[in-house]
Amino acid sequence: MTTLAEDLAADRRIIILRALVEPNGMMLNETIIKAMVNRFGHNVGRDVVRGDLCWLEEQRLVRVEKLDTERGEFWVAHLTNDGEEVAQGRKHPGVARRAD
C-alpha cells in the first residue's frame, strides 16, 4: 500500500511525462512543467518539480539539461524513449498509470 505522498508524486510524474509527449519537440522547461503540474490539481513549487525531474532522470525517463543564466540555473527536461513509453501506458513503479 502506498502513502498519499507517494500517490501524489506518482501523479505529478505522469503529468510531467504526458506533457513532454505533446507536440513540442519532447522537451519543456521547468516553468512550463510547474504550470502544467499545478493546472492538474497540484500546488507545488519549483523545488518539488525539480525533485520529480531528478527522480525521473534517475529512472532514465527524462534527461535534464541544466542551463546557467544570469538569474541562476534553469532546467529543461527532455523525454527519453523509455519515458515516452511510460507516458503512453507502460507500467513503471513510482509513476501513476495513464488515465484516458
Q: What is the pLDDT of residues 11-50, one digit of tens each?
A: 999 999 999 998 667 899 999 999 999 999 999 999 999 9
Domains and their CATH numbers in the chain: 4-87 (1.10.10.10)
pLDDT for 38 equals: 97
Does the pLDDT at position 2 exceed 90?
no
Torsion angles phi and psi, residue 34, rounded to 5:
-60, -45
For 27-49, give the secondary structure using H, E and C: EEEHHHHHHHHHHCCCCCCHHHH
Does the pLDDT at position 81 exceed 70?
yes
Residues 67, 73, 74, 80, CA torsion sign: positive
Copy the grid coordinates of residue 39.
Answer: 493546472
